[in-house]
Amino acid sequence: MSRPANERFIIAVAASSVAAMLMLLVVSNTAIRVLLALPFMLALPGYAITVALFPRRALGIPERTLFSIGLSLAVVALGGLILNWTPWGLQADSWAVLLCATTCLASVMALARRRREVALAAAPAGLGLTGLQSLLLGLAAVVAVAAIGLARMPAPLQSAEGYTLLWMLPSADGNPNAVRLGVDSMELASTQFRLEVKADSRTLREWPSLTLMPGEKWERRIELPAAEYGAGTIDAALYRLDDPRSVYRQVTLRRSESP
């Protein structure tokens, strides 16, 4: 004997949840994972609970949509509290298992309750959109997406001022006579710099012409003879070659700062 349409749909919901969980654990493509996670997390758990809780035909499509999404959000928010007290915590795997288990459990409850009811569910009605209406709505969606795309475009160059980072830190390997020095250009065009490292006004190293493109980084580890570094203070000054007399950026490292 074949199952009623509504029972088949509930089974399909549970099966979809299991399939989505397995795919989420395997697939690495973000776009596909988003498409899978949208119903898996934001619709199926709430839908299954709604079907399990409410008698047939008690809710219209708007109410069912409201409770499906609202309860899905609630299941995740409250489920997080449960996962927090488990050894696994809030991770992709534990979320996938929890949400799938919730959907399947609620689906089983829905099936058990529905079998006690006599009447068959009416087949879900279509959206009732005409071809032209679908076209207009599709166009509206395209225009809305285009608007978001337009808003995401970066601002043009002339709207802001570029900048450059100069930084200096003790060497990561703990060598007291070595430092790390870096320049990150966030200028809006290719820029030429001069970089000078001094100890007690005595130049230790100099890079007379550093050309960096926008977004380009320059980094060096510099070994300093102990005698030169004895003063304990190293200064690095960065100049732009289009304004060679003004210090553009300046950093200082004092040896005594290490705790």
> Which tokens go with 124?
């879900």
> Which tokens go with 116?
């006690």
Closest C-alpha among 45, 46, 52 to residue 18: 45
* Shortest distance in whole angstroms from residue 74 CB to another protein: 4
Q: By CB under 8 A, tell whether 65 contacts another protein.
A: yes
Number of residues that bind another protein (CB under 8 A): 100
Q: Identify whether the C-beta of residue 183 lies closer than 8 Å to the C-beta of residue 214.
A: no
Q: Which amino acid is at 153?
A: M
H/E segment holding residue 44: helix 44-53
Q: By CB under 8 A, tell whether 227 contacts another protein.
A: no
Q: Which amino acid is at 70?
A: G
Q: Which of residues 172-211 bind another protein (CB under 8 A)?
A: 172, 180, 184, 186-189
Nearby residues of 87 by Cβ (< 8 Å), 6 or more positions away = none
* Shortest distance in whole angstroms from residue 1 CB to another protein: 26
Nearby residues of 245 by Cβ (< 8 Å), 6 or more positions away = 239
Question: Residues for the chain: how many in total?
Answer: 259
Nearer to another protein, 12 or 92 (CB): 92
Q: By CB under 8 A, tell whether 166 contacts another protein.
A: yes
Q: By CB under 8 A, tell whether 73 contacts another protein.
A: yes
Binding segment for another protein (CB under 8 A), chosen from 53-61, 100-108, 195-203, 221-229, is: 53-61
Q: Which of 1, 26, 119, 151 binds another protein (CB under 8 A)?
A: 151
Residues pairing with 174 in the sheet: none
Q: Which of residues 89-128 bind another protein (CB under 8 A)?
A: 89-92, 95-96, 128
> Which tokens go with 198?
């001094």
* Shortest distance in whole angstroms from residue 82 CB to another protein: 11
Nearer to another protein, 162 or 244 (CB): 162
What is the torsional sign of CA 235, 240, 245, 246? negative
Nearer to another protein, 2 or 258 (CB): 258
* Shortest distance in whole angstroms from residue 212 CB to another protein: 11
* Shortest distance in whole angstroms from residue 108 CB to another protein: 17
